Structure 1
């Protein structure tokens, strides 16, 4: 494998690998769609967590996706309390999806992150959320699951 002089090449490749897994779970060829859906998932889940839990989860992400995770974050305003309707509305608006598309998209990202995160990390995040959100995030994937 040729060596790259680009100091960011590894970070970019890792982010692309994660995005490819999300794209595969979504069953989509559109890389921009996969990015929007992943970004929406990261932001709406992040805002539901405490500062400490969000930072702990972010440490599991590749460098470039960690930047996406923290983009626009205001730790003074978290955790934001919203249930399924609020989650769906935020997710749909951020990802450019209809509300009806959110459950499948959110579950696809959860499944992808379950494969990519360190063992137990995603399960820890899910345990911090209300059961109604966990059900939405894991629809079709057997409820709570460890990564």
Structure 2
């Protein structure tokens, strides 16, 4: 494999990750990509930690390389699933994304919309099937 091919693969992975962040920014109606990245990262982590190890691994397998890295960053599979309801999800997402709790619904919907822009809805729906109904409702646009 040539150096050019390796660099191209890295460039492509970076471009795809930028596309995800840009889509979250677009969905949230902001030009602040750092903010959009923080919301995406927090959403991925709070979502991941509510899933079983198996469900998280199945969902992560559908993610592009760098987004999958974000998904797994800091993960402790021995400590999941963390059992929280919609209120607990909202509190954690607000904290991790440095959002006002009143913005959690908008942020959750923005990231869910962005994720479904890139992944088939069936992949997200399968993972969401592992969540309690009140958490699923919070994540739905």
TM-score scaled by length of structure 2? 0.92
- Whose relative contact order is higher, 1 or 2, with alpha carbons under 8 Å and at least 6 apart? 2
Secondary structure in 1 aligned to 2:50? Answer: coil
Decide which of 77, 82, 85 is 2:84's aligned counterpart: 82
User: Which of 45, 60, 63 is residue 62 of structure 2 equivalent to?
Assistant: 60
Structure 1 vs Structure 2 CA RMSD: 1.4
User: Where do 5+ consecutive residues of structure 2 fail to align?
Assistant: none
Give the alignment of 1:1-147 within 5 angstroms. 6=7, 7-138=9-140, 141=141
Deviation of 1:8 (Å): 1.2
Change (3 A) 1:5 1:59: closer
Structure 1's unaligned 5+ residue stretches are 142-147
Output one character per residue of 1:96-139: Cα deviation in whole Å (capped at 9) or x when no partner. 1011111110111011111211341011111111110111111x
Distance in 2 (CA, whole Å) between partners of 1:78 and 1:84 is: 17
Task: Identify, as 1 or 2, the structure richer in helix.
Answer: 2
Runs ≥4 in structure 1, deviation > 4 angstroms? Answer: none
Secondary structure of 1:73 counterpart: coil
